[in-house]
């Protein structure tokens, strides 16, 4: 009897070990099975040529509106001339009317024009049945109607009743990468799924009509645009996907009041609402970049650069003379072949270039995106990547760093690796003009 009980205990012991082993093996299997996030494709919105607004037309328009005095017209003219934006960018219908149509109806019309177009183009290009979409994420900071933008897409394209839908608002120009982050997390726990991300900013209802100069800046920078992005965690999609997501790093420094308030929507003393862009914005963006890079560097830099970077940080903390020297900047060109910096404005791009000690060729895509399309907010990093693809510069195995800033203040980074040879004959938003670029952007543009 004792021997029998001993055998039973021995068997139970073995079963426990076997169960633990199976549990660990299953966890490892599920982890590795679901860790790959593929970017099948993305589409950037190309507005109709009828929506193109040259700088001279924009200046004439704000003069004829009768809402701005000579001082504010002159200020906006100076900003436009020095903005780095050319005469090929686009405005929605409501902004081109006199008087402006800034109603909710006009804003919804702009949203439908952009998001319906890019979603349909993506579905058609890859023969994707909208009912096969498992996760839907829309983002638009300044327009948040009821029903939501996500509901508008579900209604328009007939998505399934059990689609996991999310609408992000108020997240600023980094919302596109925030959406990628949310999609990544959802794809980690939902096997064999497709995620559709739709990113844009509505310009129509958010033109500022007051006199505060820091709030007039947004009038001069933001333009019409948007992007649709299709992500997957299905193994079968690896052979058709363009990129694989390698890293995504999010940083938020809004715990400090001055950082939190450097980009904020608020009314002025006369009751006009607008986006207030603080004078300290580029400085704060530089701080957010430093925080973000401190995490990203360890993930992407080769060991030689990591050692130099860590030694520099340690020496500044323990050796006072080292603090007098400039901060060591790692060579990120050893980690990435391509850079897609948020085209928020000429000063934003130049700040990143200076902080990271990048070359002119590294910021070309971002500068040309700003010149051609203006600040398209959360979609701008996709316009920059489209530029690089249209130029035929992205090769299999290349690594791409998308970097965006947003209100709050946030700095987000996405790292992609090209995993398949790109079809250079496949048209994108840049195709008709790419032979004209790059162009030299003057410090002060004639109009």
Instruction: Indicate which residues carry an active-site annotation.
Output: 173, 252, 338, 342, 375
SS3 46: coil
Closest C-alpha among 300, 242, 248 to residue 417: 242
Q: How far is CA 436 from CA 43, 63, 144, 368, 391, in A?
A: 21, 32, 37, 11, 11
Phi-psi domain of 345 (left: phi exceeds 0; alpha: psi -120 through 50; beta: other)? left
Give the residue carrying structure tokens 């804003």: 107
Q: Which residues pair with 259 in a beta bridge?
A: none
**Residue whose pair of structure tokens reads 């690089």 in the numeric block:** 388
3-state secondary structure of 106: helix
d(CA 276, CA 389): 34
Helix, strand, coil distribution of the chain in percent, nearest 5: 50, 15, 35
Pairing between β-strand 194-200 and β-strand 226-232 as defined by DSSP bridges: antiparallel
Q: What is the CA radius of gyration of the chain?
A: 25
């Amino acid at each position: 009897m004792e021997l029998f009980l001993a055998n039973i205990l021995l068997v139970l012991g073995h079963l426990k070990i076997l169960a633990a082993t199976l549990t660990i093996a299953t966890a490892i299997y599920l982890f590795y099975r679901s860790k790959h996030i593929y970017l099948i494709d993305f589409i950037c919105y190309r507005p109709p040529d009828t929506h193109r607004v040259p700088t001279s037309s924009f200046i004439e328009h704000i003069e004829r509106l009768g809402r701005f005095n000579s001082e504010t017209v002159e200020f906006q003219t100076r900003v436009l001339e020095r903005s780095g934006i050319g005469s090929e960018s686009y405005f929605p219908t409501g902004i081109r009317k006199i008087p402006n149509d800034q109603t909710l109806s006009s804003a919804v019309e702009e949203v439908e024009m952009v998001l319906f177009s890019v979603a349909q183009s993506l579905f058609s290009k890859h023969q994707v049945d909208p009912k096969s979409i498992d996760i839907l994420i829309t983002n638009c900071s300044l327009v948040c109607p009821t029903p939501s933008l996500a509901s508008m897409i579900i209604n328009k394209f007939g998505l399934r009743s059990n689609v996991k839908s999310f609408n992000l608002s108020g997240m600023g120009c980094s919302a596109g990468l925030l959406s990628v982050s949310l999609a990544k997390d959802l794809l980690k726990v939902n096997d064999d799924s497709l995620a559709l991300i739709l990113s844009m900013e509505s310009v129509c209802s958010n033109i500022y009509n007051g006199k505060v100069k820091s709030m007039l800046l947004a009038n001069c920078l933001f333009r019409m645009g948007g992007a649709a992005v299709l992500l997957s965690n299905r193994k079968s999609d690896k052979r058709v996907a363009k990129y694989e997501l390698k890293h995504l790093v999010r940083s938020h420094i809004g715990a400090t009041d001055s950082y939190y308030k450097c980009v904020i929507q608020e009314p002025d003393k006369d009751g006009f609402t607008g986006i207030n862009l603080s004078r300290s914005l580029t400085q704060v963006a530089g701080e957010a970049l430093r925080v973000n890079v401190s995490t990203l560097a360890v993930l992407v830099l080769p060991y030689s650069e990591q050692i130099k970077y860590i030694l520099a940080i340690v020496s500044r903390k323990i050796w006072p003379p080292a603090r007098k020297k400039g901060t060591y900047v790692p060579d990120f060109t050893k980690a990435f072949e391509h850079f897609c910096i948020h085209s928020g404005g000429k000063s934003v791009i130049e700040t990143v270039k200076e902080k990271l000690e990048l070359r002119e060729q590294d910021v070309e895509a971002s500068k040309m995106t700003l010149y051609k399309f203006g600040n398209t907010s959360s979609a701008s990093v996709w316009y920059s990547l489209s530029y690089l693809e249209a130029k035929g510069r992205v090769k299999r195995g290349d690594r791409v760093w998308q970097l965006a800033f947003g209100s709050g203040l946030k700095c987000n980074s996405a790292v992609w690796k090209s995993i398949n040879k790109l079809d250079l004959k496949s048209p994108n938003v840049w195709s008709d003009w790419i032979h004209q670029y790059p162009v030299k952007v003057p410090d002060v543009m004639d109009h």
